[in-house]
Amino acid sequence: MFILKKIEYRLGKLFKRLVRKSFTLQINWAYWIFTLICFLSILLLGANIFRIIKRGQERYDIIQEERARLEALYEENYELKEDLKYYSSKEYVDIKAREELNLVFPDQRLVLIEEGEVPNYENDKMEEKDERKPSWKQWYDLLF
């Protein structure tokens, strides 16, 4: 029994020494705090870099959309300039003056043909062609 008590006593001392040593182990708190701060700084920097890249991509997309819109406006502007050239040309003014306003130049005559006056040539036969007047004579009679 004595041996058992002696073994128990020695084991208890050893156990107490191990427990004491593990708790009294000196930890370099400054090192671990510095390491934790560096790790958190790296994480925050990574998050900020990711945010900056994402914001840059969004701005790039906006720029691309605006560039496409600008190209469409340039095309529309070009078409409007071409239309302006056409509508301000002498030919267009002459056509509109004749068609809509029934205006003519001083040395010209305006001839209005009503629907009843237009000859219908669909039912004509070859025999009637010989009896007709020449076209210059018909125009002369119509205009003068």
**Domain containing 68: what range?**
59-85
Residue that is written with structure tokens 């306003």 in the block: 101
Task: Report residue 63 as tokens.
Answer: 């720029």
- Is residue 139 in a domain? no
- Is residue 4 in a domain? no
Q: Please tell me the distance from the alpha carbon of residue 55 to that of residue 30, in angstroms, as a whole number.
A: 37
CB contact set of 103 (below 8 Å; sequence gap of 6+): 97
| 143 contacts 110 by C-beta, under 8 angstroms | no
- Is residue 52 in a domain? no
- Is residue 32 in a domain? no
pLDDT tens over the chain, length 144 residues: 677 788 888 778 777 776 665 555 556 788 889 999 999 999 999 999 999 999 999 999 999 999 999 999 999 999 999 999 999 998 998 888 888 887 887 887 767 667 665 555 555 554 455 567 888 888 888 887
Three-state DSSP class for residue 134? coil
Q: For the chain, what is the domain count?
A: 1
- Is residue 67 in a domain? yes
- Is residue 132 in a domain? no
- Is residue 96 in a domain? no
Residue 133, CA distances (Å) to 17, 128, 140, 142 in order: 141, 10, 11, 12
Q: Which pLDDT belongs to residue 119?
A: 57
pTM over 0.75: no
- Is residue 73 in a domain? yes
